[in-house]
Amino acid sequence: MKNEDLLRALGEIDDETIVRAGERLGVLPNSGEGSSIILFKEEENTVNSKKIRKLSKTALIAAVIAAVLAVTALAAMVLGTKVQPTDGLEGSWGTVNGNKAVTFENAKLFVTFDSDKPRHEYQFKANWLPSEPTCGSLGVYTDYISDDGEGSIIPYVVNSYNKINIQGIRYCFEGKEKEVRQDIWNGYERTELALDYAGTPYGYDIVNYLLLFQPEDNYLVYIAGTNSMDDLEKIAENLEIRVGNEIDELYDAGDDIGLLDLGRG
C-alpha cells in the first residue's frame, strides 16, 4: 500500500475507533469518566471545529502508530535476562563441602542472565529506603537488609552480585508465578516478579522481586522484599551506582544452580 493510500485509509477511521485502539495499546487513557479526551460531535460543523477534529485525529493516529512501533521494537528485542518455568532443577550447588549434585524439586521458575561483555566491578548506595535497614546504612556504598530477625517479615533486601560469573547459572525460586514483567529501564534490563509462597516453608506469602541486569557492564542488582513493588521501584529509582574496572579474575564456585529466594539467596 502506498503511503498516501495508508494515510487516506487512516483518515476515514472515526475518532472513537482510534481512541479505543489507543486505550487497548495503553498509550491513551480510558475515555470513560474523568478522561481528558473529547470526541467531537458530528453536528459541530464550524470551520474551527473541523480543524480541531482533524488535528485531534492526526494526534490520535500518531499516538497509535508510535505505540505499534514501540510494541514491535520491544517484541523484536532479545533480552539477556530470561525467565522460565520449571518443575524442578538438577545441577551442582554448595561450596562449603565442595560442589555437590543437588535437586531442587520445589523450584517453580528460574532466571538466567547472558552477556558477551566482560564483567565489571560496581558499587551502589541507596538514597531512599522504606524503613531503617538492619544491615547497612542509608547513603553508604553497601548492601542493605531489613528484617524482623525471624524471617517472617523482610521488607527489603538490596544485594550486589560482584565477582561471580552469573552466566551459565540458573537462579531458581520456589515461589509460584503471579506476575512477570520485563522492560528496558534506564539502560537496564528490568525484570519484575511477583511470586506466591503460600504452602512453602517460608514465613510469608507474597514476595516481589526487581532484578536490574546491565548487559554492557555485565552486572546484576537484586532488590526483593515483602514490601510492595512500588517501594522496590522507588529504591531502584534512588540507587546511585558506580561502575568500576573490568574484573580480572572471577570467583567460580562451579555452581550451575543459584538461589534468589528472599532470605535465602
* Grid coordinates given for 159: 544485594
Domain boundaries along the sequence of the chain: 3-76, 81-259
Query: What mean pLDDT do residues 230-250 have?
Result: 93
* 19: confidence class by pLDDT, cuts 50, 70, 90: low
**pLDDT score of 69 more than 90:** no
**pLDDT score of 265 more than 70:** no
- Average confidence score pLDDT of the chain: 78
Q: Which residues of 217-227 are buried (b: 16+ CB within 10 A; e: fewer)?
A: bbbbbbbbbbb
Residue 39 near residue 19, CB atoms below 8 Å: yes
* Grid coordinates given for 181: 514483567
Q: Which tops the pLDDT comparison, 119 or 36? A: 119
- Is the full-model pTM beyond 0.85? no
Query: Could you give the CA distance from residue 236 to residue 158 in angstroms, rounded to a whole number?
Result: 9
* 70: confidence class by pLDDT, cuts 50, 70, 90: very low
* Grid coordinates given for 100: 555437590
